[in-house]
Amino acid sequence: MSENWLDRLLGLWLRPEDPVQPVTFSAELPSCHPHVAFDATFQVLWQRNDQAALWTVRQKITEWAGQVTAKYSVTQAGNAEIEINTRKVNGVRVKLTVTRQARIAVEAILEIDRQAALERLKQQAELERIRYLRESVYSRPDVARSYWLYHHPDQPEELLTINFEKIAEKFGDVGESRFLVIAKLIGDFLGRLEDGDRRYLLGQLGQLFSSYDQPDLAERLEAS
């Protein structure tokens, strides 16, 4: 509902011959927090002895003002009051007050919101740390060894008892772990061949690399 609509509504009942008299009424107006309201005292300049018309105007004014206050917390009562009173609806003024209980309720809500936001940040930081360890540490055996030794400098003998390659398979990226498994299988297979068969197979693999425009891999294979 717009201010112009309210002005037109008030104008329907204004008659120059009737004396202007202030009419005061109270209402609860919503805030941006559910179940926490402003206490509003309205003053309307009225010129008719028509209670039905006055009741309609009161309802419309309350509805319009509630649309304004619903954007504000009760801790911002002053700002909400200023916005309503500066809309310049003819003959309408409002005074907003907030009960102690409402302020306590909002402070509790805001504290809950702050704690929830802090918990989300903690969880996000924890997830980022887990992701870093999985992608940059545990999936790389050499890095994992250095990381472990850095945090356990007084236990170097324990380093030899940990199978970091196995850890990489379990904690690394799914795709990378699969490639590590395949590479290990190929390595086991080559290790079981006779020297001549192994050289022949590696030569074929080098040609395969070259056929896929990967000559650098073929050169690295030949040099190994």
Model pTM score: 0.52
Q: State the residue range of the domain holding 213.
A: 162-223
Closest to 22 in 3D by CA, of 51, 47, 52: 47
Please give the full DSSP string across 201-220, using - where no structure is assigned: HHHHHHHHHHHTT-HHHHHH
pLDDT in tens, 54-88: 888 889 999 999 999 999 999 999 999 999 998 76
89 and 167 assigned to the same domain: no
User: What's the total number of domains in the chain?
Assistant: 2
Round the average pLDDT of the chain to a whole number and report it: 83
40: buried, middle or exposed (CB in 10 Å: 19+, 13-18, 0-12)?
A: buried
Structure tokens at 31: 């805030």
pLDDT in tens, 42-57: 998 877 677 788 888 8
- Output phi, psi for 213, to 5 deg: 55, 45
Is position 143 within any domain?
A: no
Closest to 164 in 3D by CA, of 187, 133, 140: 140
* C-beta of residue 1 within 8 angstroms of C-beta of residue 64: yes
Instruction: Give the pLDDT confidence score for residue 29 in this predicted structure.
Output: 96
Per-residue pLDDT for 205 more than 60? yes
Of 51, 66, 98, the domain-final residue: 98
Is position 56 within any domain?
A: yes
13 and 91 assigned to the same domain: yes
